[in-house]
Structure 1
Amino acid sequence: MLTDPQGTILALFLAFCRMGGCIMVMPGFGSARIPMQIRLFTAVAVSMAILPVLWDSIYPKVSGPGSVYVALIFTESLIGVVYGLIARLYTLSLQFAGTVLTMSIGFTAPGGHDVIEDTNDNQMINLLTLSGLLMLFMMDFHHVVFKALVDSYTATPVGGIIDSQKMLITLTDTLRASTMIMLRLASPFLIYGLMFNVAVGLVNKLAPQIPVYFISTPFLLVGGIFLLYLSIAALIRQYVDGFMPIFTSF
């Protein structure tokens, strides 16, 4: 490896393109709250760690013309971004579940700064997304992603033909599967909100002179928070358990 310093640097940069593209969009590592330098050094460290393992797959491809190497930079970055997006779309879907949950229980607090991304979300969505991401890190989901990236050199070798249609199908299937899981997690709160509002509507029909809406809102919110207190552990656990089947199926 040390007999060709130029080839070693070029091979390291190709490995960095795939790993760095994944880390750029991967949840946790690609967060807006993480300084850019830390993300860069993490991608470089991971690339240097896997380069000796994948030396025979990467190094022979760097000896081609410059135009071929530029094309390899683009394709390697695209592959890494797709693998990172699969994990990121799944984690972003928890924000969708949190939005459905808060709307169902009438939690309409003004949004604050997101603890993960540079966006505005209310406190309950922040609690759910941060808890879900911490549990994923505790279950070493990033090891699964990095292992899938190493295995991707067998499925899609350096310089191989990229099937863009397969990539789009993978991302859409991830969105579909993630949406179904999140709707299943939020379904108790949807049912609770529906039943509560139907009951309030019946009471309003029986006594239209009473401002039932203003009276019922605190009860809707308290009941929803109590339901979340009882179910948040199972919700986060099922969310974490759903990551592996989705990520490893593609």
Structure 2
Amino acid sequence: MVVTDGQVLTWLGRFVWPFLRITGLFLTAPFFGSALIPMRVKAILAAVLAGALAFWLPNLPAFPGDPITAVYQGIIQIGFGAAIGAVMQIVVASIASLGEIAGLAMGLSFAELQFQDVPGETQVLYDIMSWAALMGFIAVGGPIWLFAAIAHSFQGGTAGLGAAALPALLAFGSSVVTTAVMLAVPVMAISLAINVTVGLLTVFSPQLNLLTIGFPLLILGGLSILTASLGDLPGSIEHLLNTAVRTIAIMVPIG
């Protein structure tokens, strides 16, 4: 039996095309891109998932034999997967930013922790909301959905992202600040009211200053309003996820 170069590149292509896109996904996607997962585990998981897609996607083209073309296609495929993962990372970042903005408003910015996924120190509320968003992402089947999106993206062949991919990603990226600020508005409002009240009290009674009653009232009031407003969080997350799905549908060219 004689094995030609074309046959080897065809067999290689059935594994390498999905492996490159999954690798890009693992660079940016929530959960998959977490620093808590060892790199060796990520590499093995990417290889296993790519092997599964190699049997499910039998019509993939041969991988380029030319080194320059192979490197170019590798960059394109990794960028493809990274862009899809970045869309879902925006959803998680929006919820995490809510905790950071609320913490700044209520005076909890001094309480910081070292979070392994983020370089440097981060606020406590940022860490809490980041973990909550990540757990919610896992609970709704986000990792499975992302893998399915990578699998179905090959319906458009091995071409790169569509022409509308970058504008769609940038437009969706603006939702990080917009959603976080809208969710943190109640905390910002009560913090402003408390600051104004304490400022007026200080004029008539200097003993009732910001240090004695201001900070305790800010923290207690801010945490109370934040807890009460968490009921609106599922609706906001659902809206973000629906927008993320539409964004990915625009980004991925379907043949």
Task: Find the counterpart in structure 1 of residue 112 from structure 2.
Answer: 111
The match for 2:171 is 173
Q: Does 1:231 align with 2:234?
A: no
Give 1:22's aligned amino acid: L
Among candidates 18, 23, 27, match of residue 26 of structure 2 = 23
Distance 1:242 1:111 in 2: 30
Say yes or no: does 1:7 pair with 2:1: no
d(CA) in 1 for partners of 2:96 and 2:110?
A: 15
Contact 2:103 2:109 (8 Å CA) reproduced? yes
Q: Once the two structures are superposed, what CA deviation does each residue of 1:159-208 show, in whole Å capped at 9, x if it has no partner?
A: x3645x6332122112112322222211111111122212222223344x
Shift of 1:229: 3.1
Report deviation, 1:95.
2.7
CA distance in 2, matches of 1:116, 1:68: 34
Q: Distance in 1 between matches of 2:121 and 2:201?
A: 36
Corresponding residue SS for 1:51 = helix
Return the offset for 1:211: 4.9
8 Å contact from structure 1 (residues 104, 192) kept in 2: no
Q: Distance in 2 between matches of 1:162 and 1:83?
A: 10
SS at match of 1:112: strand
How far apart are the structure 2 equivalents of 1:63 and 1:73?
A: 10
2:39 to 26, 36, 41: 36
Please give the per-residue CA displacement for 1:74-94, whole angstroms capped at 9, x wherever unaligned: 111111111111111221232
Bigger shift: residues 124-133 or 175-184: 175-184
Q: Which residue is equivalent to 2:56?
A: 53
Report the count of equivalent residues.
Answer: 241
Which amino acid in 2 is paired with 1:153? F
How far apart in 2 are the matches of 1:238 and 1:205? 42
Task: Sort the Cα spacing of 1:31 and 1:235 in 2 relative to 1 into closer, same or farther, 3 A.
Answer: farther
- Residue number in structure 1 paired with 2:195: 197
Q: 1:226 to 1:169 in 2, by over 3 A?
A: same
Partner of 2:183: 185
**For 1:162 and 1:126, how far apart are their aligned partners in 2?**
33
Measured after TM superposition, the shift of residue 127 of structure 1 is 1.2
Measured on the aligned residues, the alpha-carbon RMSD in Å equals: 2.3
Q: Percent identity?
A: 18
> What runs of 5+ residues in structure 1 fail to find an aligned partner?
none
Change beyond 3 A, Cα 1:52–1:243: farther
Q: Is the 8 A contact 1:116 1:130 kept in 2?
A: no
SS at match of 1:44: helix
1:245 corresponding residue in structure 2: 242
The answer (yes or no) to whether the contact 1:24–1:39 under 8 Å persists in 2 is: no
Contact 2:11 2:62 in 1 (8 A): no
Give the Cα–Cα distance (whole angstroms) in 2 for the partners of residues 210 and 198 of structure 1: 16
User: SS of the counterpart of 1:62?
Assistant: coil
Q: Structure 2 stretches of 5 or more lacking a match? A: 248-255
Alignment partners' CA distance in 2, 1:89 and 1:65: 36
Alpha-carbon shift at residue 245 of structure 1 (Å): 1.3
Over 3 Å off, 4+ runs: 3-6, 63-67, 115-119
Kindly provide the amino acid, as one letter, of the partner of residue 123 in structure 1: V
